[in-house]
Structure 1
Amino acid sequence: MSTANSKRFAPAFNQTTLVILAGALILSAAMGIRQTFGLFIGPFSFDRGLPVTLIAFAIALHNLVWGFAQPFAGAAADRYGSAPVVAFGATTFAAGLGLAAVAPSGAMLIVGMGLLVGIGVSCTTFGVVLPAVGRIASPEKRSMAMGLVSAGGSAGQVLMVPLVQGVRLSSGIATSLFVLAFLMLLIAPLGMVLDRRARVGTPVHEEHVAPLRKVLGQAAGHRGYRLLTLGFFTCGFQLAFIATHLPEYLSLCHMPVGLGATALALIGLFNMAGSWACGWLGGRFRQHHVLGWLYVIRSVTIGAFFLLPKSPASVVIFAAVMGLTWLGTVPLTSGLVAKVFGTRHLGSLFGVCFLSHQIGSFLGAWLGGLVFDLTRSYSLLWEATVVAGLVAAMLHFPIDDTTVSTPTLRANPAAA
């Protein structure tokens, strides 16, 4: 009997493992590359004579485009599978990076790094990858599986930042962007692995789930979903501001050259442990409570870093703590959506929620550049990130995470 059981569960285990590995690799490439964009603000400004506001707008725009495209990318993956969506996204992402590499003007930079990269990243990150993992993992292991994928995806940030920094210093902006474009093309076929399905743990009734519009209407009327969506805005605002403007801020504080790149790499390194830990905590405690405390920790950390004297040691500590809380919100948020509404339309529901995150990302990246150009200081944005984090914490604690009855299509007896 034990031999039969082991044979029965081995295929499911192997399929789940393959999906987690493929998802981690896709996220590593897509998220790792976009986390390097802050390293290009100074070089684009000095080498090509572009204003910081315009460069920040291009980076911010890809966040906004990502947000608006995410529900459509998630819905396409829900309906047609991940393979065509990931392949299209990786190709579009690479095209955007290539266009930015040769962009002769700010307008072309906005089209490449803003529009094309935004579309590409919507098809190769959380809204497509995590629902695929959520559907193949059992409910009790779902939060952990999503946390593992997010943690594995953080490896890209650890590797990409020093890679870009080294190639840029030795060969220039264009070469470093072409290298990133080539890496994106390499992950295009991995979407086929995400479409694997385990035979166990898949509810039989999911084929009778009602159309997406009914499920979206149910979610829109759910108070917890609305609070979760509003709170997710803060995550995008905080992370985009820090990832985009931390290197330049440290330069203004007369920190050693290259410390900004080191800080971003450390954020990615510690995010590997943080994402795994958040997935683990989400499987043992109520996910919205974990989210609330995560935002509190972020706000306290950001406030202390801003107010206390700067030193290489304080930057390393800040990067480590921020890394532990960096992308842990994503498996917790997607896991909470799956717990309340199920996994059939998870890509679409998480995509709508993620739109709020990306509106925050757009404002965090763009307002950082705008405020700096107007005041020659980032102080207002540091203060805003602290306040926003505390507000997000208050929004998450009262969320009702009770599973709801998903609208279903009733079977037609006459058709039987």
Structure 2
Amino acid sequence: MQTGQTADIPGTARGWTVTIAALGINMLIGILYSWSIIQRAMVVNWGWSNTEASLPYTLCIATFALTMIFAGRAQDRYGPRPVALLGSIMFGGGLIGSAFAPAPALMMVTFGIACGIGIGLCFSAATPAAIKWFDPGRKGFVTGVVVAGVGLSPIYTAPLTEALLRAYTIEQTFLVLGIIALAGLLLLSLVLANPPARHENAGTDVTADPRVIITDIPWREMIRTRTFIILWSSYLLSAAGGLMLVGHLAGIAIVQAQWEAGFVLVVILAIFNTLGRLAGGYISDRSGPVSALLLMFMIQAVNIFLFTFYRSVPALMAGSAIAGFAYGSLLALFPAATAGYFGLRNLGVNYGIIFTGWGAAGIVGPIIGGAAADITGSYNLSYIISAVMLLGGAVIVNQLRKTG
């Protein structure tokens, strides 16, 4: 039995209230994308190595992705509110606990595991809760609005974290961020609700894609399908390049343009990441997820390859904007594709499983970037590898056109 249901009609004020709450939740858990600022402080102030300071971030991504599987199933069974409330406690508590974890091993537990679980619980509850209120023609756009919160987050969390670190210690910064996140997430989680059961299957059609399956498919059947393999593997191949850039933009600015203000590239990428999430959902509604995915894969492949030639600040800014837009679109397109091919009833657990492709990319991408820089002294090799992976993803996802 699902909790928090009302008798409102999908798409009305109640649906938009849930959508705004889901957007707010994602804006609060998006601090993950500002980790590089905290990481720098740990290296400078605590004397941690770059590897030690990056371990909590890497573990958080992996835990986030794995939690999505179980959290999605819980959301499908119990509804979004209790799942999000538990996630709020885990994420806020993890940040607060990090204030008392001045050692890599402890930080991996508090931030890497606790915060990762919290992000997975909150994210898995927010997106399905919102899109279930709307008809098929608007689900892509609504998905884009909700996941845009994660993209918007660094726009305020980056300067906030920087300001806190300048005024206070790292421990105090974690404490303040944790209190803000805990209070905000608990309040917003109370707003989440599923629509009445009769509305959840208002349709799973995805515009302009006549081959999309319209039957609700449980996860055990989904993972046996060719479509699942295609979506999962293309998610891994396409997201790795974007996550590589997210984790290394500051270093790229120094190596390629001798520019110390690399945080500006992070903000630019975050802004266009948000726009991409919104545009991705809109494009999906009009052209179908397969066409939209192919377009973004090709744009990102060309752009990442051209990063080998971006040697000036304006060029890096333009490249970061394009990379952010293309990467952000994926976070709206893959949930829409999952809903379109496998239905809405089991969307939480189904997308949670497909989302592990992103989690794998979060490990592969940054490792490729770091290893390439360590071995060659530049990021050129990582750009070439990322571009090839994206082209491979395009070839794979194009097979969906042949999947009936």
TM-score tier by shorter-chain length is: 0.7 to 0.9
- Which letter does structure 2 place at the counterpart of 1:19? V
State the partner residue of 2:34.
36
Q: CA deviation at 1:169?
A: 2.8
1:184 to 181, 189, 195: 181
The letter of the residue matching 1:260 is G
Aligned to 1:108: 106
Deviates more, 1:235-244 or 1:132-141: 235-244
User: In the TM superposition, what is the alpha-carbon distance from 1:28 to its structure 2 partner?
Assistant: 0.9
Question: Quick one: which of 259, 270, 273 aligns to 2:272?
Answer: 270
Instruction: Please report the TM-score for the alignment, with normalisation by the length of structure 1.
Output: 0.85
Query: In structure 2, what is the equivalent of residue 159 of structure 1?
Result: 156
Query: CA separation in 2, counterparts of 1:366 and 1:55?
Result: 14
CA apart distance, 1:153:
4.2
Instruction: For 1:255-294, list aligned pairs within 5 A.
Output: 255-257=258-260, 259-294=261-296
Tell me, yes or no, if the aligned pair for 1:29 and 1:184 is still in contact at 8 Å: yes
Structure 2 match to 1:357:
358
* Aligned positions of 1:204-215 closer than 5 A: 215=218
- Whether the aligned pair in 2 keeps the contact of 1:22 and 1:194 (CA below 8 Å) is yes
Cα distance between partner residues in 2 of 1:341 and 1:10: 23
Partner of 2:400: 399
1:74-110 CA-to-partner distances (Å, cap 9, x unmatched) read 1111111111211211221122223333323221122
- Classify 1:172/1:318 alpha carbon distance in 2 versus 1 (closer, same or farther; 3 Å): farther
Structure 1 segments unaligned to the other structure (5+ residues) = 1-7, 207-211, 404-416
Q: Which residue of 1 aligns with 2:67?
A: 69
Change (3 A) 1:201 1:39: same
Tell me: CA distance 1:70–1:238, structure 2 relative to 1, closer, same or farther (3 Å).
Answer: same
> Counterpart in 2 of 1:138?
135
Q: Is the CA contact 2:269–2:320 (under 8 Å) kept in the aligned structure 1?
A: yes
220-229 or 90-99: which moved more? 90-99
Deviations 1:298-353 (A, max 9, x none): 12111112x11422212221221122222211221111111112101000000000
Q: 1:244 aligns with which of 247, 251, 270?
A: 247
Unaligned runs of 5+ in 2: 1-6, 205-215
Instruction: Give, in whole Å, the separation in 1 of the partners of 2:87 and 2:402.
Output: 32
Cα 1:380–1:11 change in 2 (3 A) is closer
* C-alpha contact (below 8 Å) 1:15/1:197 kept by paired residues: no
| Deviations, residues 42-89 of structure 1 (Å, cap 9, x unaligned) | 222222122212222221111111111111011111111111211211
Match of 1:97 in 2: 95
The answer for the alignment partner of 2:321 in structure 1 is: 320
Deviations 1:187-240 (A, max 9, x none): 12322322141587434999xxxxx9x722321222122101111112442233
Question: Secondary structure of 2:13's match?
Answer: helix
Distance 1:142 1:401 in 2: 24
**2:59 is matched by which residue type in structure 1?**
L
C-alpha separation in 1, matches of 2:202 and 2:317: 49
**Letter of the aligned partner of 2:240 in structure 1?**
F
Query: How far, CA to CA, are the matches of 1:172 and 1:377 in structure 2?
Result: 33
Q: Following TM superposition, by how much is the alpha carbon of 1:152 offset from its aligned partner in structure 2, in angstroms? A: 4.3
Q: Give the whole-Å Cα distance in 1 for the aligned partners of 2:340 and 2:236.
A: 21
Shift of 1:10: 7.4
Partner of 1:300: 302
Looking at structure 1, the residues matched to 9 and 195 of structure 2 have their Cα atoms a distance apart, in angstroms, of 13
| 2-structure distance, mates of 1:205, 1:147 | 18
Q: Matched residues in 2 for 1:223 and 1:10: separation?
A: 35
Letter in 1 for 2:242: L
Residue aligned with 1:151, SS? helix
Could you tell which deviates more after superposition, 144-153 or 371-380? 371-380
Code of the residue aligned with 1:398 in structure 2: it is Q
Q: Displacement, 1:123?
A: 1.0
> C-alpha separation between the residues in 2 aligned to 1:139 and 1:92?
33
Equivalent position amino acid for 1:48 in 2: W
Q: Find 2:230's aligned residue among 209, 227, 231.
A: 227
- 1 CA distance for matches of 2:250 and 2:11? 44
Contact 1:83 1:190 in 2 (8 A): no
Amino acid at match of 1:219: M
Q: Secondary structure at the match of 2:69?
A: helix
Query: Is the CA contact 2:201–2:344 (under 8 Å) kept in the aligned structure 1?
Result: no
> 2:4 matched to which residue of 1?
none
Query: In 2, Cα distance between the equivalents of 1:231 and 1:188?
Result: 34
- Say what the alpha-carbon RMSD is for the aligned residues: 2.6
Instruction: Check 1:380–1:178 CA distance in 2 against 1; reply closer, same or farther (3 A cut).
Output: farther
Please identify, of 291-300 and 362-371, the stretch whose mean Cα deviation from structure 2 is larger: 362-371
Query: Could you tell me which residue of structure 2 aligns to residue 129 of structure 1?
Result: 126
- Aligned length in residues: 386
TM-score (norm 2): 0.87
Aligned match for 1:85, one of 55, 71, 83: 83
Are the structure 2 counterparts of residues 291 and 129 from structure 1 closer, same or farther at C-alpha, using a change threshold of 3 Å? same
